[in-house]
């Protein structure tokens, strides 16, 4: 097990945590609550203590799962949630981002109620509000720290300038970005800044939304209303086939190491910087256990170099046009 500190909070977590979104939305039918709670308990029993959720994930349904799982073992779980995106609860649609103090207070009270706790360990602004200075939002979040409702402040998908401006108001413990063998935008400016200023990078989708696990082939890909088929150009058309070619290179390396592609992908992310932690998602215990074994894999310089070259060959943006407008790139 690899343990790493979240920012400069003094709180360490397993560097392989659990992203919980897929239990409620995006990749098929929501998990049965009883089965989800069993999985969350199994994760905790196996040393996973960093659990990531958000108001947006099922519009509260995902937070409710964590509340059911951890209300009687709260001291063992490091819980991170997020606010910002707003929409229609009935239609399950997002219309924009609201980083106002009023929306933040509404959201945190709802999150605390659903999570069945009196505090959240890490609270993120899920996306930067394009119509509001980030300083204003972070100043409001700082009040929650003083009130004891949150332990630390995080930001998600912000650029280096926004991070610097936020840091001028209050210490930022973590920045969440998509980061994987296939997605390395963060390395240009944000990752170096986080390293220099003691901010933890929480890598979401470190398995490329499942593409890097080897679970998909040319003849088997996400379809219908699966989130990936709807919003990710990498899973569509000619780009999909080209990207599967790249995945096969990872599969060959994994086979030579007696490992799974997902383990190679996680090992690569964890080796980038000591301030990086991951939150791969899964709904299956076998996948969770396999992910945890990635901590024991040390890639050689030659293996790392071969993986480093793949990102430049990836075809398609990570989100569709609308999704990319919400990224503070």
Q: How far apart are CA 117 and CA 109, in angstroms?
A: 10
SS3 content of the chain, % helix, strand, coil (to 5): 45, 15, 40
| Catalytic hit among 27, 57, 124, 204 | 57
What are 95's two structure tokens? 């219309």
Q: How many Cα atoms within 13 Å fall on the side-chain side of residue 263?
A: 23
Q: How far apart are CA 65 and CA 215, in angstroms?
A: 26
Closest Cα to residue 204, out of 329, 7, 18, 11?
Answer: 18
Q: Are 135 and 125 in contact (CB under 8 A)?
A: no
Identify the burial level of 109 via C-beta atoms within 10 angstroms of its C-beta, where 0-12 means exposed, 13-18 middle and 19 or more buried: exposed
What are 67's two structure tokens? 């509340």
DSSP-derived pairing of the beta strands 276-278 and 200-204: parallel
DSSP bridge pairs for 5: 12
Residue 196: partners with Cβ closer than 8 Å, 6 or more residues away? none
Angstrom distances, CA of residue 160 to CA of 137, 189, 307:
16, 6, 26
Classify residue 208 as left (phi > 0), alpha (psi -120 to 50) or beta: left
Is 179 tagged catalytic?
Answer: no
Q: How far apart are CA 172 and CA 201, in angstroms?
A: 11
> Which residues are catalytic, by number?
57
């Amino acid at each position: 097990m690899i343990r790493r500190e979240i920012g400069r909070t003094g709180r360490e977590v397993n560097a392989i945590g659990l992203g919980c979104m897929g239990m409620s939305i995006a990749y098929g039918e929501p998990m049965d609550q009883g089965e989800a709670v069993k999985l969350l308990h199994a994760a905790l029993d196996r040393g996973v203590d960093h659990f990531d959720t958000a108001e947006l994930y099922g519009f509260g349904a995902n937070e409710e799962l964590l509340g059911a799982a951890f209300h009687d073992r709260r001291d063992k779980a490091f819980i991170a949630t997020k606010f910002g995106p707003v929409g229609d609860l009935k239609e399950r649609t997002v219309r924009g981002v609201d980083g106002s103090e009023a929306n933040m207070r509404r959201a945190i009270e709802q999150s605390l109620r659903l999570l069945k706790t009196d505090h959240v360990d890490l609270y993120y602004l899920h996306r930067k509000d394009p119509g509001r200075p980030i300083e204003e939002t972070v100043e409001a979040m700082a009040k929650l720290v003083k009130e004891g409702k949150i332990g630390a402040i995080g930001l998600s998908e912000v650029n280096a300038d926004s991070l610097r401006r936020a840091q001028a108001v209050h210490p930022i413990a973590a920045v969440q970005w998509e980061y994987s063998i296939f997605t390395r935008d963060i390395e240009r400016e944000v990752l170096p800044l986080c390293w220099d200023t003691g901010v933890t990078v929480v890598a979401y989708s470190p398995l490329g939304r499942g593409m890097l696990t080897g679970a998909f082939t040319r003849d088997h890909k996400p379809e219908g209303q699966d989130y990936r088929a709807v919003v990710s150009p990498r899973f569509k058309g000619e780009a999909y086939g080209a990207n599967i070619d790249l995945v096969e290179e990872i599969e060959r390396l994994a086979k030579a190491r007696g490992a799974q592609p997902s383990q190679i992908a996680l090992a690569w992310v964890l080796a980038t910087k000591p301030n990086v932690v991951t939150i791969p998602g899964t709904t299956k215990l076998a996948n969770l256990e396999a992910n945890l074994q990635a901590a024991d894999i040390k890639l050689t310089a030659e293996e790392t170099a071969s993986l480093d070259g793949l990102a430049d060959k990836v075809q398609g943006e990570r989100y569709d046009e609308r999704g990319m407008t919400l990224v503070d790139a």
